[in-house]
Copies of this chain bind each other. A is one copy, B any other.
Amino acid sequence: MVAARAGVSTATVSLVTSGKTAGRVSTDNIAKVEQAVSELGYVVDGLGSSLARGRSNIVILVAPDVSNPFFARVIDGVRSEIGAAFQLLLSVTEAGQMPTPAEVRTLLSLRPAGLLVDAPSAEFLAALPAAGPMVLLDTAGVESAAPSVNFDVAAGAVLLADHLAGLGHTTVAYLDSTTGTETFRVRREAFCRHARTLGMEVAAQAGTTIDVSAAAQAFAGAWPQWQRQGVTAVVCCTDTHAYGVLQEARVARLDVPGQLAVTGFDDLPYSETSSPGLTTVRLPAAELGRAAGRQLLRLLAGEELDGPGAAGRSLTLDSELVVRGSTASSAAPGP
């Protein structure tokens, strides 16, 4: 070990570089080591260090969809909490897929300090070996004993149904996602259940991937039928789907919200500036990331998550209805 050439043992160097000098190293030696370290540009080797202490200082974030503006904000939230202490790395899988069991094993063999798992499927969790500290994000609808942070999407769906019913809509369509994530099932079921309670009919459902043009095409295909059924509002399971509907509505020269109201979930930045602005259920993405980061940090510090005074194993973040032009001034629809 090069830095040992600064006149002390490797043990002392190790104590200094890992900051465990409290009452164990003389200030004299600390200074010597620090100088040698900076002279040699020495960096502690992550591999040796990790092997010796049993785990690395990386945190792996596993997610099905890395490139998605919504998820970008989640990542940013995570980074702002744990970035200083740990090296955050994203696992890369086939688009829209969770890692296979084999990939997970490879990941785990790097001995990450912790794991963050976004939007896991039930099968993924079942196949996941009980590894070290782990926090789940956005896992609505999936059972798990692991600590998790979620959005209250069901409450948002209820607010949305109230809003549409209040505007006089009686027949609506629901545009769902075809990715199997449970959160979409929860959104749909909560909305449909409450809508029926309010006397609204959810006339039809369709589903596409989370993609503007796929949603646009699906809407274009379904609209003639929906129109015949008297649909006056389309509730989309994500803002991205809603963008597709708005786009196609424009092509078809439909008046939004006069002839058709459109809503989404997420509140992506674009929803504020689209024309008309999109009424949507705001899901606080960055806060989700931050909360998950904090949970993991607590876990890593050995804190009990469910002890007295703790925030609890399972956190739920409030969602919120943001009303904009895509529903605001809806004309009262006919029967």
A residues in contact (CB < 8 Å) with B: 43-48, 50-51, 56, 58, 60-61, 66-69, 71-72, 75-76, 78-79, 83, 87-95, 103, 105-111, 211-213, 216-217, 247, 250-251, 269-270, 272-275
Instruction: With CB as the reference atom, state the residue of chain B lying closest to A276.
Output: B251
Whether A106 contacts B94 by the Cβ 8 Å rule is no
Q: Which residues on the B side are within 8 Å of A91 (C-beta)?
A: 89-90
In the complex, residue of chain B having the shortest beta-carbon distance to the beta carbon of A67: B72
Q: What are 15 contact pairs spanning A and B, CB under 8 A?
A: A43-B105, A45-B111, A46-B106, A47-B111, A66-B66, A67-B71, A67-B75, A79-B93, A87-B103, A87-B110, A90-B91, A213-B270, A217-B273, A247-B274, A251-B275
Closest-by-CB residue of B relative to A106 is: B87
CB distance from A297 to the nearest CB of B (A): 16
Copies in the complex: 2
Is B43 a contact of A66 with CB atoms below 8 Å?
A: no
Given contacts A43-B109, A67-B71, A67-B75, 19 further A-B contacts (CB under 8 A): A45-B109, A47-B47, A48-B51, A60-B89, A61-B92, A66-B66, A67-B68, A67-B69, A72-B95, A76-B94, A78-B92, A79-B92, A79-B94, A87-B106, A87-B107, A89-B91, A212-B273, A216-B273, A247-B274
Query: Known contacts A47-B47, A51-B47, A105-B43: does B87 contact A90 (CB below 8 Å)?
Result: no
Known interface pairs A247-B274, A250-B275, A273-B216; A109-B46 also in contact (CB < 8 Å):
yes
A87 to chain B: which residues have CB within 8 Å?
103, 106-107, 110
| A109 surroundings in chain B (CB, below 8 A) | 43-47
Shortest A61–chain B CB gap in Å is 7
Q: Do B106 and A269 have beta carbons less than 8 Å apart? A: no
Name the B residues within 8 Å of A94 (CB-CB). 76, 79
Question: What's the Cα separation between A308 and B91 when bound, in Å?
Answer: 36
